[in-house]
Amino acid sequence: MIKSHFNNLNGWIIIDKQAGVTSRQIVNKMSKIFRLNKIGHGGTLDPMASGVLPIALGEATKLISFIQNKKKKYLFTIKWGEATDTEDIEGKVIEKSDIRPNKEQINKALNAFIGKINQKPPVFSAIKINGQRSYNLARRKISISHKPRQINVHELSLKKIINLDFAEFEVVCGKGTYVRSLARDIAEKLNTRGHITNLRRQFVGNFHEKDTIFIDFFDEILHSPSILKKIKPIEKVLDDIPALFLTETEAIKLRQGQKIKLDSFKFKNNFIKEYPNYKNFERVYTLNDDRLIALIEIDDGVVKPKRIINY
C-alpha cells in the first residue's frame, strides 16, 4: 500500500522507458501508483523507442513546456534499402532499394542535415489535422501530407557501420524534430530508402540516462523509502536560466500575484551583475529555503509573476 507521503509529491521522476509501451501508458500507471491527478510527461517518445522520459509530478507539471523546449540527444539505427509507412520498424514496407551507402558517402551526406533545416513530419505522428490525430487518419488510409517545418539539428554523426544493411547514428536536436523523418531523409539523400529499427533517447535538457529508473522495477521500489531519493526537484529543469533570489517578504508578495519594482529587490544588484542580458522568463527562489516561488517576467524594470508555484 502507498504511504501518505506519496500523496503530495512535487518534482520529476525520470523513467527509462522501454520499447513497446507508450508515453501515455506510463503516465497513467504513474498516476495510479502515486494517486496524483496532476501528472504529465516532458516530450513524447514513440512506442518503439526507449530512453529518457521525464515525468512531472504535482506542481512540476507547470514546467513541462520548459523541458519540451530543451535539446534532446538520440541514438538511432537505420536499416538501408526499405522504406516503411511509419518510417520505423513497426510499419509496412512500401518501397525498396538495392543501394547501400558506404561510410564516406554517409559522412558527406550528413552535412546537409546540421543546423536549421526543413523537415516534413511523418504521417504517423500526433499532429492534429482538423481536430484529428494524424496517425488515426493514416491508419484509416486517409491521404494526408504535412507541410515542412523548420527544426534545429545541433549535432549529427555516424557512430558505426553495423553491417551492409545497418548503420548507427547519434543526433542532438531541438524541439519538433522527428528522428524517424531524419532517417528517411538521410536515406533519400543517399539515393536509397531507409527506416529506423532502434531509437533511444539519451538525454532531455538536464535529465540524463544516469538519472533514470526502470518502470519494470516500480513495484519493488514503491515498498522502499528510496523512491523519494529518485525524485528530482521541480527547479532542476530550470538549471540553465537565471535565478533572482528573494527575501521572505518579497516571496509573499509574488505569491499573492503582486508586481514588484526590480530596484526594490534586496539582491537586485547581484542579479544584474551576474546576468546583464537576462531574459524575460526567470526562476525565483525564496532566500530562506531555496524553494521555487514563480516564473516571472521582467518588463521595464518591473517583476511580474507569470506562473506561481504552490507547494
Question: Looking at residue 67, what DSSP letter applies?
Answer: H
Helices 179-189 and 103-110, axial angle in degrees (round to 10): 120
- The amino acid that residue 74 corresponds to is Y
- CA–centroid distance for 213 within its chain: 16
CB atoms inside a 10 Å sphere around CB 119: 20
Count CA atoms within 13 Å of residue 282 on its CB side: 25
3/223 Cα distance (integer angstroms):
9
Where do we find the cell 499573492? 256
- The amino acid that residue 289 corresponds to is D
Under 8 Å between Cβ of 260 and 251: no
Look at residue 111 and give its three-state secondary structure: helix
> Of these residues, 16, 46, 88, 211, which one is catalytic?
46
- Which are the contacts of 198, defined by CB distance < 8 A and separation ≥ 6? 75, 76, 77, 89
Query: Is 46 annotated as catalytic?
Result: yes
Supply 106's cell numbers.
554517409
13/8 Cα distance (integer angstroms):
14
Partners of 79 in the β-ladder: 166, 195
Which active-site residues does the annotation give? 46
